Structure 1
Amino acid sequence: MHGLLEVLESAIDLDKYFADDISDVVCTGSLAPFLLSHRAATKNIVIVTHSSRRAEDIATEIAAILGNEAIIQFPAWETLPHEKLSPKSDTVAKRIHALYQLQNATGKAKILIAPIRALIQPLVATITETPLLKLEIRDEISLSKLVSQLTFMAYTRTDLVERRGDFAVRGGIVDIFPPLEEHPVRIDFFGDEIEEMRYFAVSDQRTFTPYLGKLEILPCRELLITDDVKTRALALASAYPELTDICTRISEGAYVEGMESLASALSLSMKPLLSYLNKGTEIILLDEERNRSRTLDLVNTSNEFLEAAWSNAANGGATPIDLRNLLGGGTYSSFEELREYSQNNRSFGWRSINNFGGEDSTFIADFLPHEPYKGNNEKVVADLSNWLRNGYLVLLSAHGHGLADRYFDILVDSDIPVRKSESIKSAPTRDGVIVTTSTLEFGFINDVIKVVLITDKDISGHRNTTGDGAKMPSRRKKTIDPLELKAGDYVVHEQHGVGRYIELVKRDFGGAVREYLVIEYASSKRGQPGDRIYVPTDGLEQVTRYVGGEAPAVHRIGGSDWIKAKSRARKAVKEIAGELIRLYAARTSAPGFAFSADTPWQRELEDAFAYVETPDQLSTIDEVKRDMERPYPMDRIVCGDVGYGKTEIAVRAAFKAVQDGKQVAVLVPTTLLVQQHLATFTDRYTGFPIKVAGLSRFNSAKENKEILDGLAHGSIDIVIGTHRLLSQDVVIRDLGLVVVDEEQRFGVEHKESLKKMRTSVDVLSMSATPIPRTLEMAITGIREMSTITTPPEERHPVLTYVGPQDDKQVTAAIHRELLRDGQVFYIHNRVESIDIAAAKLRTLVPEARIAIAHGQMNETALEEVILAFWNREFDILVCTTIIENGIDVANANTLLVERADLFGLSQLHQIRGRVGRSRERAYAYFLYPVDKPLTELALDRLTTISTHTDLGSGMQVALKDLEIRGAGNLLGGEQSGHIADVGFDLYMR
């Protein structure tokens, strides 16, 4: 888009807006990236935003004009300075990398972009003193030296490398996952020389492509444990008893979670980010007022956390020491202090670009935003045609090639002069619409210089995400993970039966060091210790975790028990299979509709997807399409954790059905989901002649009647609705596909109506934690099943805290979320006292807008509240467990659960799945009363939920739930006994 900047610079004197006597410029938001890009040509600038999200957005917009190499991004921690949580290793590495770039600022980088939160937090002064580790093939470095350097740089030594910041050593091989790399790297040594470097996949630990160039290894922590830090830690441990535990471990060289909260006491000195910038740099605030108020909120919340974190540390009693003096150096500075430092100490320029202004502001009035077209393509075509007739320069920018191709086709069909351009590097000519791709959010129009920029977001009204296409998701993961096993866990070996896992050991056979799982079986001789087998880690496909009844009997190696148990289970499965085959035959002999192969439009729709598909998503989409193209009805269930992109599979399947002139019904359990799916489907089908309607109580009677008429006449292609769609009066003229979302939530009578449909139309069901019965049915083959286990990129596991309830902790957690413009779910599961809980929250956080939702409200009122929360009209939703049901509020990323000890396991998992659905780090607090002892069962459940925090653990939790409750029964087959004999996994095989 640099060419458009050149057009603006030649038509307007942009420099006058940066004159010395002007400090506050007001313009439409879509012009800001062009103004900033112009300023960066003559000045080093720092762009300051009120939030991390805004910083990322403005960075992608400026990158569309100047390219990525012009920009340095400096992210803020996602934790507060005094919180006992460490920032993520990739955040730390990005920050350190940015500081090195600033120190050696040669070349193109002219723009530093940071949220205000990063500017007001001081940095450890020695942060850039550790030289970076750079490795390439043929370099010589001793293995022991490399290991000690990695340990010093806060990398964690593990058996298997799975997370950023891990490393492992096996013989002459070092595996390492540097925080800024997409995949971990395997370094192969020959003596002390690096012979080969290759990327490998976390899921199966296999290498797949060579690593080319220099591997740059950055520290994983900002505070590294030097001798000086150890000495200070020892002194702190003896001076302050409540810090003894954490400081003793630091003094021994161990990196402790949350040690950054003591950074100002452990390091020699702290200094601000601005001290790394050259004199004469200009600071430009985007929306100064929001930056100012955000700083005030941050300072207040940080102080609350300082008190909450350390009062908790002293078991509820206030700490006897004044930690403010001890840790004050690490706390946020105020807006005034920041401004004073930048102008007095560094003589930086200071100005702002705002959306609104006062009497003293300078307005750039000729640039106006577009009115949103809300998908009305006829109006877009008419406006474009009109602008061309009047001699305007017209640019249409889309986020992906698929959408750009789609708009190009629409304009060609409408006889509008149009051409495609990959990127606009120099000033374009005014001979027709130019369609291009870029990451610009919105466009503008200027009637004085006759220039129009219009984006896909202007046309559709909203856009999904900022996902970039370069990311390669991790591979599928199916086998047992030895690191998830604890000593004493029961496992099943296909050949030898049920045994007890003992440990993971290394053995040297003929010079090759390999890792083995040690499994103990019953002793073959009475009075002797158990027999053990060693299973190499590359032979793990034979071993599964035991999921069944209570503690099982351990088998003897070579004994007959295991063979008998297997044959009993096999016989039971055969009997059930006979029943299933009859059902299956009935289905496959029923005449169905064979959909045709993908059309060019299908490819355009799929190219316009704003995320990168995960491998599981792609394979599931292929499986669904293959089923649809067969001549008998499809019956497939897709299991995937909450927010793993199941909706996109439905979007593509529905589109495929409509291409063949069929209608589609999407069945969802709640009216809120009707609204959410309606928004998603409408957004994805922007630019295509497809009519989508939502049948719900939020429509007027007249609107619903029009929708029913449209379905009967065939003018509506896709209808989304609740079980109202199953009523007798709903007639769909040519139904080809039924999509059932959250299938486990429909009642028996609805399932019966669905069953009748199954024999004649294609049915695609979707579920997050499959209820054990569905799990069993799918795996025994009544229905085809696809699973999605890879999280979308940009998603992080939910940080889960289990502990006693404490008002300070609750207040601080809510404030932390409100500071990043987020929302909070507060679960109080007793309707009679929910108003009291809400009133208490109003006294703790008076500034928050609080709403109440529970199942005893009448349905319309309930849905209005939840819809208002979805539309961000409230900050906190105090509710009962009704939210476990598929409510997708991407902006709500903190969850607090009162009396978590009273909940079931899959309930806790479903509830936790409500947060962490966007790229923000999410927090879940499971709280129990201080004064009531926990039952063993509650303890077991809370322990499980705090250990299974990995993304995609829904299936694991469903299996654990099966284990805690015992397996159910299917088609009357007495199978729970057999499952207990051989374990769930093997039984299903």
Structure 2
Amino acid sequence: MPLGSLVHQLQHATLTTELVRRTRQGQQQGQRLCLCGGVRVARALVTSALARQQERSLLVITPTVEEAGRWTGLLDTMGWPTVLLYPTSEATPYEGLDPTSEITYGQLQVLAELLRGQEPLVVVASERALQPHLPPKAVLQANCLTMGRGNATDLSTLAHRLGQLGYERVNTVEQEGTWSRRGDIVDVYPVSAELPVRLEFFGDELDKLREFDPASQRSLDTIEQLWLTPKGHDPLIAQVLRTAIPPGLQSLLGDQALASLQDGQTPRGLRRLLGYAFPQPATLLDYMPSHGLVVVDERRSCLAHGQQWVDHAASQLEDLQAEMDHPAAAALVRGVMHLPMTTCLERVDRWEGFDLAELDTAEGHPHHVSIGARPVPCLPNQFGKLGKLVRDQKRQRTHLWLLSAQPSRTVALLEEHDAITRFVPNAQDRPAIGQLLEQGTPVALKATGVADLEGVALPAWKVMLLTDREMFGQHSLASSGYVRRRRRAASRTVDPHKLQPGDYVVHRLHGIGRFLKLEKLSLSGEPRDYLVVQYTDGLLRVAADQLGSLGRYRANSEQPPKLNRMGGSAWNKAKERARKAVAKVAMDLVKLYAERHEARGHAFATDGPWQADLEGSFPYDPTPDQLKAIVAVKRDMEAPRPMDRLVCGDVGFGKTEVAVRGIFKCVTDGKQCALLAPTTVLAQQHWRTIRDRFAPYPIKVGLLNRFRTATERRELIQQLAAGALDVVVGTHQLLSKGTVFKDLGLVVVDEEQRFGVKQKEKLKTLRK
């Protein structure tokens, strides 16, 4: 949160207090204020300052989903404890297509945070969130399951409750919306959480709650409480439908869905019946804290974008009603599922808050105040001019903030041009920052992943912000929190602009298909992009806003896959086979780990005087991470079971020294060691390093690669077999059939991922 301290300075300014007074006064007079005249960074800074001064939660409405993402990344850097992106879909409620699981689960994650009542927080959403699309707040809250340590819970009752909420029972919990039970342990993956939770019972009492890794199934941190929302809105709609199913609804749903409802299950595609189940569906506003602030960014754009969607939804509803045979069925989908955008914004105006606009004029807004933000000059690598800019701002008593991914270098470069700045390592050290600013010294902070950030001047607050964009011409990356939330969804979806005709894709319902083209179709007068995907029995058109239902096709084989039939059983059978195969791999891994744990190996002796002497000859001070890895390796070597450890680190971070110390420990205990490298150059480098480090000791080090003559290779292999060679460094030549060790104690593999499957199988035989 590198900009948290800057927001803290702004929120205590006299001008901020005056703006708070004016927004409240305008609200009381029915005149919503518009703060205008500033790029997005300036608007975000001022908005955060106003909200933080009042200690109130914040809802920011933007014209588009893309803008919402940019706002989320910015606000994530401004000191807020929680910043949430509320995802929305372009699809209308009358298309018969459910939003993707990423959108539904993302919405539930935000709603769960709002229901918990933890404040202050920020929610960012596009104008689509103002449309009715949610069950009433009281209904969702009543159907959330809360469990804490010490609670008494009957496991059979818990299983029934999870089924009611739409959670699917599986053997191993790996995906959101699933659960499993093994004796007194229940695993469940809430759709509103980042990680699944393991519930450990003692009888009927919940004894422990721990998050766990869905990939490794290993338990992680202990938590105090589990908050579980339904798996989407369909289970809530199904509860209402089971009480009474009118004839019109029966013809609309079909026999299969009706049978599922009667069996207590939740069929797909109930989302468009939200208006029937709940005559007054809720909007995101209904879930916000009553004393929260609601801010609308670029109201005119929100109105224009929102009304286009409303017109399209109205046209689709008319078409749907015209297609229905039964008049009762047409009435059932007439729920209040879309409202004129003017009505949505009128609802917003009942909340305390303000509007934002980039242009100073705020065209179309009768009550506007300019915040006077100004762009700063972009002078990439022109530190003479940047130094003059810093000195000028200091003379004008402007508080200058420098945000850079390389702050120490920035400070040094500016100092060469008589511009004195100071780097504060802790961006939250407000006393140190405040003291420097009071002295007129510009403050440099470390940029830790900020989204779409650029410099800005706020003359009215006597503040200027410079970033790497102005100083080095570099754009910052998205914030770590925003990336973490989006990475999982992005990895599973396809980019239509990167698809080529003939590429294979996977639809979550229909399976493997072949992408043909991207085409634009005009349905009900509204042009939209569609991906055309070929299946065995026809073509499927997937709207661009439903790309979450498509994934990339990946396979080890170069053979083209067989296309599935739409709605056929082959795809479901393939998924079931894959699930069983994954389960088998998991069991094999468990068996392997058990065998490793039970296997007996050579326990190396503790360090002797030579070990201390070798380590003392290292010309550098080991880093804390290096020391940690060295201690872990030695501990494993001294244990009575075989070591199988991975040491990770970037180039230049000291992995070789960790290996050198382990190899020396092995050899001084009377064992042989092999170091395997993927290339001849790497092998040569390692051989020289080990030879030079071990030169003072009676240790013989050999090199085996393709540059050795046949005679040299034969002599070296004979020395290995006789025990006359202590350490051998080599490439894949080491894995040849004739290589035999007399007493091998340690194998070190550099960049193991660069070796093939057959070579790794040979490695396994070396380790035995």
Shift of 1:368: 0.8
Does residue 83 of structure 2 align to residue 67 of structure 1?
no
Look up the match of 2:478: 465
Mapped to 2, the partners of 1:160 and 1:348 lie a distance apart of: 46
> How does 1:567-582 map onto structure 2 within 5 Å?
none
Mapped to 2, the partners of 1:47 and 1:188 lie a distance apart of: 40
Does residue 61 of structure 2 align to residue 55 of structure 1?
no
Look up the match of 1:420: 423
Mapped to 1, the partners of 2:548 and 2:238 lie a distance apart of: 35
Are the aligned partners of 2:515 and 2:534 in contact in 1 as well (CA < 8 Å)? no
Mapped to 2, the partners of 1:448 and 1:130 lie a distance apart of: 48
- Report the more deviating stretch, 274-283 or 388-397: 274-283
Which of 144, 151, 168 is the aligned partner of 1:139? 151
- Report the more deviating stretch, 165-174 or 367-376: 367-376
Shift of 1:174: 1.2
> Partner of 1:139: helix, strand, or coil?
coil
Shift of 1:190: 2.8
Are the aligned partners of 2:512 and 2:564 in contact in 1 as well (CA < 8 Å)? no
Determine what percentage of the aligned residue pairs are the same residue: 16
> Partner of 2:211: helix, strand, or coil?
strand
Q: 1:4 to 1:325 in 2, by over 3 A?
A: same
Are the aligned partners of 1:24 and 1:362 in contact in 2 as well (CA < 8 Å)? yes
Partner letter of residue 7 of structure 2?
H
Partner letter of residue 336 of structure 1?
T
Mapped to 1, the partners of 2:16 and 2:492 lie a distance apart of: 52
Does residue 361 of structure 2 align to residue 352 of structure 1?
no
Does residue 15 of structure 2 align to residue 5 of structure 1?
no
Q: 1:235 to 1:457 in 2, by over 3 A?
A: farther
Mapped to 2, the partners of 1:286 and 1:6 lie a distance apart of: 20
Shift of 1:221: 1.9
Shift of 1:289: 1.1
Mapped to 2, the partners of 1:3 and 1:925 lie a distance apart of: 43
Look up the match of 1:897: 532
Look up the match of 1:547: none
Shift of 1:291: 0.8
Which of 390, 393, 400 is the aligned partner of 1:394? 400
Shift of 1:94: 5.5
Partner letter of residue 456 of structure 2?
F
Listed as ranges, the gaps of 5+ residues in structure 1 are 312-316, 474-610, 615-639, 645-671, 674-741, 743-768, 772-796, 806-824, 829-836, 849-874, 877-894, 927-935, 957-983
Look up the match of 2:267: 256
Are the aligned partners of 1:896 and 1:924 in contact in 2 as well (CA < 8 Å)? no
Listed as ranges, the gaps of 5+ residues in structure 2 are 1-5, 553-560, 583-755, 762-768
Mapped to 2, the partners of 1:245 and 1:307 lie a distance apart of: 26
Shift of 1:254: 1.4
Which of 125, 135, 139 is the aligned partner of 1:114? 125
Partner letter of residue 454 of structure 1?
L
Mapped to 1, the partners of 2:457 and 2:184 lie a distance apart of: 62
Q: 1:89 to 1:194 in 2, by over 3 A?
A: farther
Q: 1:456 to 1:940 in 2, by over 3 A?
A: same
Partner letter of residue 60 of structure 2?
I
Which of 231, 246, 264 is the aligned partner of 2:242? 231
Q: 1:643 to 1:335 in 2, by over 3 A?
A: closer
Q: 1:457 to 1:176 in 2, by over 3 A?
A: farther
CA deviations on 1:57-107 (whole Å, 9 max, x unpaired) are 3344345445225x67654357542344444556556645655665675x7
Does residue 44 of structure 2 align to residue 39 of structure 1?
no
Are the aligned partners of 2:248 and 2:326 in contact in 1 as well (CA < 8 Å)? no
> Partner of 1:231: helix, strand, or coil?
helix
Mapped to 1, the partners of 2:408 and 2:524 lie a distance apart of: 50
Look up the match of 1:216: 227
Partner letter of residue 68 of structure 2?
A
Partner letter of residue 465 of structure 1?
A
> How does 1:374-453 map onto structure 2 within 5 Å?
380-398=386-404, 402-411=405-414, 416-421=419-424, 422-423=426-427, 425=430, 427=434, 428-437=437-446, 439=450, 441-447=453-459, 450-453=462-465
Mapped to 1, the partners of 2:562 and 2:571 lie a distance apart of: 12
Are the aligned partners of 2:94 and 2:272 in contact in 1 as well (CA < 8 Å)? yes
CA deviations on 1:698-734 (whole Å, 9 max, x unpaired) are xxxxxxxxxxxxxxxxxxxxxxxxxxxxxxxxxxxxx
Mapped to 1, the partners of 2:193 and 2:244 lie a distance apart of: 32
> Partner of 1:211: helix, strand, or coil?
strand
Mapped to 2, the partners of 1:446 and 1:358 lie a distance apart of: 22
> How does 1:486-885 map onto structure 2 within 5 Å?
827-828=516-517, 841=520
Shift of 1:394: 0.8
Are the aligned partners of 1:443 and 1:454 in contact in 2 as well (CA < 8 Å)? yes
Which of 150, 170, 178 is the aligned partner of 2:162? 150
Look up the match of 1:192: 204
Look up the match of 2:548: 922
Are the aligned partners of 1:78 and 1:921 in contact in 2 as well (CA < 8 Å)? no
Q: 1:249 to 1:92 in 2, by over 3 A?
A: same
Which of 332, 336, 340 is the aligned partner of 1:334? 340
Shift of 1:144: 0.8
CA deviations on 1:789-836 (whole Å, 9 max, x unpaired) are xxxxxxxx975565999xxxxxxxxxxxxxxxxxxx9944xxxxxxxx
Mapped to 2, the partners of 1:36 and 1:472 lie a distance apart of: 23
CA deviations on 1:917-970 (whole Å, 9 max, x unpaired) are xxx9535499xxxxxxxxx954479988999999x99xx9xxxxxxxxxxxxxx
Does residue 329 of structure 2 align to residue 319 of structure 1?
no
Mapped to 2, the partners of 1:170 and 1:243 lie a distance apart of: 37
Partner letter of residue 897 of structure 1?
V
> Partner of 2:174: helix, strand, or coil?
coil
Partner letter of residue 181 of structure 1?
A
> Partner of 2:457: helix, strand, or coil?
strand
Mapped to 2, the partners of 1:11 and 1:183 lie a distance apart of: 39
Are the aligned partners of 1:800 and 1:949 in contact in 2 as well (CA < 8 Å)? no
Which of 243, 263, 266 is the aligned partner of 2:254? 243
Partner letter of residue 5 of structure 1?
L
Mapped to 2, the partners of 1:328 and 1:186 lie a distance apart of: 42
> Partner of 1:367: helix, strand, or coil?
coil
Partner letter of residue 435 of structure 1?
A
Are the aligned partners of 1:25 and 1:354 in contact in 2 as well (CA < 8 Å)? yes
> Partner of 1:224: helix, strand, or coil?
helix
Mapped to 1, the partners of 2:376 and 2:144 lie a distance apart of: 48
Partner letter of residue 28 of structure 1?
G
Are the aligned partners of 1:49 and 1:291 in contact in 2 as well (CA < 8 Å)? yes
Q: 1:946 to 1:409 in 2, by over 3 A?
A: farther
CA deviations on 1:656-715 (whole Å, 9 max, x unpaired) are xxxxxxxxxxxxxxxx99xxxxxxxxxxxxxxxxxxxxxxxxxxxxxxxxxxxxxxxxxx
Are the aligned partners of 1:801 and 1:925 in contact in 2 as well (CA < 8 Å)? no
Q: 1:302 to 1:445 in 2, by over 3 A?
A: same
Q: 1:249 to 1:278 in 2, by over 3 A?
A: same
Are the aligned partners of 2:91 and 2:99 in contact in 1 as well (CA < 8 Å)? yes
How many residues are matched? Answer: 545
TM-score (norm 1): 0.46
Mapped to 1, the partners of 2:175 and 2:227 lie a distance apart of: 17
